[in-house]
Structure 1
Amino acid sequence: MTAYDDLMAFEHDTQALAQVAGRLGWDQETMMPRGAAPQRGEEMAALEKVLHARRTSAQVGDWLAAIDGAGLDAVAQAQLREIRRSYDRASKVPGDLAAEIAKVTSTAQGKWAEARGADDYAAFAPVLEQVIALKRQEGQALAQGGDVYDAMLADYEPGTTAADLEVMFGALRPALTELRGAILDEPAPAGVTGTFDEAAQLQLSALLARTFGYDESHGRIDKAVHPFSSGSGLDVRITTRTNPTDPFNCFYSTIHEVGHACYEQNIDQAYLLTPLGQGVSMGVHESQSRIYENQLGRSRAFTGWLYGQMRDAFGDFGIADEDAFYAAVNAVSNGYIRTEADEVQYNLHVLLRFDLERALMSGDLTVGDLEAAWNDRFAADFGYDVDRTSNGVLQDVHWSVGLFGYFPTYSLGNVYAGCLYAALREAVPGLDDQLAAGDLSAATGWLRDGLQTHGGLRSPRDTIAHASGMTPGPEPLLTYLKAKFQALYRL
């Protein structure tokens, strides 16, 4: 065997073990008994030690040095690019630190859930302090004198810096703020009324998953406090949640996570258990979940079909016709929760988190001052006060599990989705007629063939450029949002 073959065989087992670690995380969020949290933390730490040792093995370095990349095809060169990036990163982080982060974040996740349920930030603050201290150490090791936050961002969106994001977000913020203000001056559309049976919600949720292309023979749908997708290749699982008075929470959480899951399920199986066999970045991943959820799932055409499905499942729920339903699905209104925010305001929630977590990592903001800083920033951005902690600083799981640098990829994904949707509308004639019939096959097939099947073959921005035919930028997203909501609210 050649050095490349040896390296790929070794990497295959490393990727398989990483999938096992991911399954432990899925179980912790869905099935694990609450009392098992301390032991799960030890299990996660033990597995992280094994993974870290493999990712930093001297043998990996020897193989990388021995391989002549010039003689390899584009796929093999991309595999090497990703392995080398992972090896260089892992080699900078001490194994004991990696294991301690895995242990503490596993414990912190449970403490966050308890504190959120009790609206008690003070109960969560001590373990958050530990997480931030550990992640700051990791960031310093990775940055090696450079910007700590940029080093963290590279874990989720390689090739992007905070300075890049500041420019992009600087273009989004004023336009979205202006659009939001104009909309909120107009009368709000009527919403759904009554209560919606949980079993019926989950049944329709499963239908939506299948409609958008989710392969249940290689996945499953469960409930979780915070919906997520987990896994890649032949085992990709999603979660959703229900609310007895807000079925949209369930349905659009499901569609969103199906976007993530379909990306993973549709990657070329030749890449299975290799570095290319997973989404290339969280920004690209989010482009799939957001275009499924918003540009497709909240379109006038598709909501017309969904209205009929909901009438069949629930009877009369206070919405007179398809146009009124479309308005209700896309209502812009005040709210605290990022995951429930409308398309116009969603990115404003993300920008708040982006700024706060950068300040936490730089040391400009302490954990003790975080809740007050969140509340002050929210009031300034949205014009009203946070009513309780679970609607404020404790609403997201991300910081408890150490995902610093992750939040900005949500808005980056929206920008990418705007580019993809502009190209999709040109590429698929009769798209609206298909969506109105509940037929997503052409739209999701275009995304599969142009983007999803390629996995991590290209860099994030090149992935979007290849699929959309344009350099990623915020203009297509802003054009789409203005056209949609100016028409909806007759601005």
Structure 2
Amino acid sequence: MTPFDELMSHQRETTALGQVAGRLGWDQETVMPRGSAEQRAEEMAAMETVLHARRTDPRVGEWLAALDEGALGAADRAQVRLIRREYERAVKVPGRLAAELARVTSRSQGVWAEARAADDFTAFASTLERVVALKREEGAALAAEGDVYDALLDDYEPGMKAAELDRMFGALRPRLVALREAVLGKPRAPELTGDFDEAAQMKLSRRIAQVFGYDMKRGRVDKAVHPFSSGSGNDVRITTRTAPDDPFNCVYSTIHEVGHGAYEQGIDQAYLLTPVGQGVSMGVHESQSRIYENQLGRSRAFTAWLFGEMADAFGNLGVADADAFYAAANRVHPGYIRTESDEVQYNLHILMRYDLERALIGRSLEVADLEEAWNTRFEADFGTRVDRPSNGVLQDVHWSVGLFGYFPTYTLGNVYAGCLHKALRAAVPDLDATLAAGETAPATEWLRERLQRHGGLRPPRDTVREACGFEPGEGPLLDYLEAKFGALYGL
């Protein structure tokens, strides 16, 4: 075997073990008995110890040094680039720290869930302090003498820096705030009313998942407190949630997670269980979930079809017709919860979290002061004082599991989705006619061919540029939002 062959054989086994560890996480969030949390934490720590040892195996460095990259094709060179990146990052993190992070964040999920249910941030604070301390330590190890937050951000969006996010977010904020103020000055859109059977919601969610191209032979749709997707290749699982008075929560959580799942299922099978055989970054991943959920799923055309499906499933929805249903699906309204936010205000939620988590990692904010900092910032940004922790600092799972640097990729994903939507509209001029018939294939197949099938073949920004045919930026997203909500609200 050549050094490249040995490297890839080792990597495929490591990737397979990583998928097994991911399945433990899926199980923990969906069906694991509550009393199993402590044992699961030890299991996760043990798995991370094995994975870290494999990722830092000195033979990986030897194989990388010995191989002749000039003799490799483009896909194999991409494999080497990604393996080298992972190896160089992994060797900076002590095995003790990697295992402790896995152990603590596994336990932390359960503590967060109980504190959220009890609306008691103090019950979670000491656990979160431990998570933050470990992430600061990890970030410092990865950064060497560089920026600690940038080092953590690089886990989710390779190559991205906080300075670039600051520029992008600074350009987004004024137009988003102006649009929000203009829309909220208009009469409110209608809401769905009624009692929506949760079993019927789950049945509909599985149908909608298939409408958007999610392969149920290689996937599942289950319930969780916080919707998520996991896995890659031929075992990709998604979750959603239900509320008896809000079927949109289930429907659009499902479509969002299907975007993630379809991306992983759509990657070329030749890359299975390799670094290239996974989504290239969370920003690109979020571009898929957000374009599925919003530009496609909340479009006037698709909601016309969805109106009929939901009326069949639930009877009277409390709105008169498809136009009122479209307005309800895109209703701009004050609210505390990020995942229930409308397109106009969603990114403002992310910008707030981005600033808070940078302050936490940078030590200008401590966990003891986080709840008050959150409430003060939320009131300044949204004009409302947070009424309880589950509507505020406890609403998101991310920090409990150590995902510092993840939040900004949601807005980056929206920016990428705006660019992809612009290119998609140009490439598929009859898109609305097909969406109105409940047929998403022209859109999803374009996305699969232009972006999804390539996995990690190219760096994140290059992946979007190649798909769109132009340099990605915030302009298309802002233009789309202003046109859509300007028409909806008569601005």
In the superposition, the TM-score normalised over structure 1's length comes to: 1.00
Question: 1:484: which partner in 2?
Answer: 484
Question: 2:60: which partner in 1?
Answer: 60
Question: 1:472: which partner in 2?
Answer: 472
Matches within 5 A, 1:280-359: 280-359=280-359
Q: Within 1, Cα distance between the matches of 2:421 and 2:189?
A: 26
Question: 2:268: which partner in 1?
Answer: 268
Question: 2:124: which partner in 1?
Answer: 124
Tell me the alpha carbon deviations over residues 219-242 of structure 1, each in whole angstroms, 9 at most, x when there is no partner: 111100000001000000000000
Worse overlay, 188-197 or 373-382: 188-197
Say if 2:110 is the partner of 1:110. Answer: yes
Worse overlay, 455-464 or 314-323: 314-323
Q: Within 2, Cα distance between the matches of 1:194 and 1:479?
A: 35
Say if 2:15 is the partner of 1:15. Answer: yes
1:155 is paired with a residue of what secondary structure?
helix
Kindly state the Cα deviation for residue 93 of structure 1 after the two structures are TM-superposed. Answer: 0.2
Question: 2:439: which partner in 1?
Answer: 439
Kindly state the Cα deviation for residue 434 of structure 1 after the two structures are TM-superposed. Answer: 0.2
AA at the equivalent of 1:300: R
Matches within 5 A, 1:27-66: 27-66=27-66
Q: Within 1, Cα distance between the matches of 2:331 and 2:190?
A: 9
Question: 1:427: which partner in 2?
Answer: 427
Q: Within 2, Cα distance between the matches of 1:169 and 1:245?
A: 34
Q: Within 2, Cα distance between the matches of 1:87 and 1:315?
A: 55
Tell me the alpha carbon deviations over residues 346-398 of structure 1, each in whole angstroms, 9 at most, x when there is no partner: 00000000000000001000100000000000000000110110000000000
Q: Which runs of 4+ in 1 moved over 4 A?
A: none
Matches within 5 A, 1:247-262: 247-262=247-262
Tell me the alpha carbon deviations over residues 197-240 of structure 1, each in whole angstroms, 9 at most, x when there is no partner: 11111111111000000000001111000000010000000000
Kindly state the Cα deviation for residue 470 of structure 1 after the two structures are TM-superposed. Answer: 1.1
Q: Within 2, Cα distance between the matches of 1:24 and 1:192?
A: 37
AA at the equivalent of 2:338: R
Say if 2:246 is the partner of 1:218. Answer: no
1:221 is paired with a residue of what secondary structure?
strand
Question: 1:165: which partner in 2?
Answer: 165
Question: 2:410: which partner in 1?
Answer: 410
Tell me the alpha carbon deviations over residues 6-26 of structure 1, each in whole angstroms, 9 at most, x when there is no partner: 000000000000000000000
AA at the equivalent of 2:157: E
Kindly state the Cα deviation for residue 332 of structure 1 after the two structures are TM-superposed. Answer: 0.1
Q: Within 1, Cα distance between the matches of 2:268 and 2:455?
A: 7
AA at the equivalent of 1:326: Y
AA at the equivalent of 2:368: G
Tell me the alpha carbon deviations over residues 416-457 of structure 1, each in whole angstroms, 9 at most, x when there is no partner: 000000000000121000000000001000000000000000
Tell me the alpha carbon deviations over residues 121-143 of structure 1, each in whole angstroms, 9 at most, x when there is no partner: 00000010000001100000000
Q: Within 1, Cα distance between the matches of 2:187 and 2:76?
A: 57
Question: 2:235: which partner in 1?
Answer: 235
Tell me the C-alpha RMSD between the 2 structures. Answer: 0.4
Say if 2:402 is the partner of 1:398. Answer: no
AA at the equivalent of 2:405: G
Kindly state the Cα deviation for residue 316 of structure 1 after the two structures are TM-superposed. Answer: 1.1
2:277 is paired with a residue of what secondary structure?
coil
Tell me the alpha carbon deviations over residues 125-166 of structure 1, each in whole angstroms, 9 at most, x when there is no partner: 001000000110000000001000000000000010000000
Q: Within 1, Cα distance between the matches of 2:375 and 2:436?
A: 41
AA at the equivalent of 1:149: Y
AA at the equivalent of 1:387: D
Tell me the alpha carbon deviations over residues 391-412 of structure 1, each in whole angstroms, 9 at most, x when there is no partner: 0000000000000000000000
Aligned length, in residue pairs:
491
AA at the equivalent of 2:278: Q
AA at the equivalent of 1:247: P
Question: 1:69: which partner in 2?
Answer: 69
Unaligned runs of 5+ in 1: none
Q: Within 2, Cα distance between the matches of 1:116 and 1:156?
A: 26
Question: 2:143: which partner in 1?
Answer: 143
1:92 is paired with a residue of what secondary structure?
coil
Kindly state the Cα deviation for residue 190 of structure 1 after the two structures are TM-superposed. Answer: 1.3
AA at the equivalent of 1:280: V
Kindly state the Cα deviation for residue 315 of structure 1 after the two structures are TM-superposed. Answer: 1.2
AA at the equivalent of 1:143: A
Question: 1:184: which partner in 2?
Answer: 184
AA at the equivalent of 1:4: F
Tell me the alpha carbon deviations over residues 64-110 of structure 1, each in whole angstroms, 9 at most, x when there is no partner: 00011111110010000000000000000000000000000000111
Tell me the alpha carbon deviations over residues 2-60 of structure 1, each in whole angstroms, 9 at most, x when there is no partner: 00000000000000000000000000000100110000000000010000000000000
Tell me the alpha carbon deviations over residues 242-272 of structure 1, each in whole angstroms, 9 at most, x when there is no partner: 0100000000000000000000000000000
AA at the equivalent of 1:130: R
Tell me the alpha carbon deviations over residues 293-324 of structure 1, each in whole angstroms, 9 at most, x when there is no partner: 00000000000000010111111121101111
In the superposition, the TM-score normalised over structure 2's length comes to: 1.00
Question: 1:385: which partner in 2?
Answer: 385
Question: 1:246: which partner in 2?
Answer: 246
AA at the equivalent of 1:323: D
Question: 1:367: which partner in 2?
Answer: 367
Unaligned runs of 5+ in 2: none
Q: Within 1, Cα distance between the matches of 2:81 and 2:304?
A: 45
1:276 is paired with a residue of what secondary structure?
helix
Q: Within 1, Cα distance between the matches of 2:317 and 2:299?
A: 20
Worse overlay, 407-416 or 65-74: 65-74
Q: Within 1, Cα distance between the matches of 2:472 and 2:317?
A: 40
Q: Within 2, Cα distance between the matches of 1:86 and 1:307?
A: 46
Q: Within 1, Cα distance between the matches of 2:198 and 2:142?
A: 46
